[in-house]
Amino acid sequence: MIASALIALGLAFVFVGTIGILRFRDVYARLQASGVSDNAGLGLVLVGLVVHGGWERHDAALLLLLFLLWITNPIATHSIARSAFVRRHTGEGDDG
């Protein structure tokens, strides 16, 4: 029950992030959509999977995966944003 609610909430975050990536105006707005909502969606879905079925042996691997993603995902987002900013990309005229 709690696991289903957490996974459903995480899926909602994932879909909000997907819509933001598809619909926003330039690179920085899309980075905002992907970087913020992906962390929440990943965390909620993986915590829901940990809660699902009580504590088992593979839940440690799920927590390790969650820890790894929460470390690496902001670094990747920051790296993309810094790469676009250093190249003086203004974001004008790239509606797509």
Partner 1 sequence: MPAVEGLLSFALLLLLFRLWRGPTSWDRLLAYNSASNRAVLILAVASIALGEPVFLDVAITYAALSFLGVVILARFLEREGGFR
Number of residues that bind partner 1 (CB under 8 A): 44
| DSSP helix, strand, coil percent of the chain (3-state; round to 5) | 80, 0, 20
Task: State CA 68 to chain mean position distance.
Answer: 13
Among positions 27, 47, 54, 88, the unique one binding partner 1 when judged by CB under 8 A: 27
Residue 29 contacts partner 1 per CB under 8 A: no
Q: 27-51 and 2-23 are packed helices; what angle lies between their axes, rounded to 10 degrees? A: 170
Give the footprint of partner 1 on this chain (CB under 8 A).
Answer: 7, 11, 14-15, 17-18, 21-22, 27, 30-31, 34, 38, 41-42, 45-46, 49, 52-53, 57-58, 61-62, 64-65, 68-69, 72-73, 75-77, 79-80, 82-84, 86-87, 89, 94-96
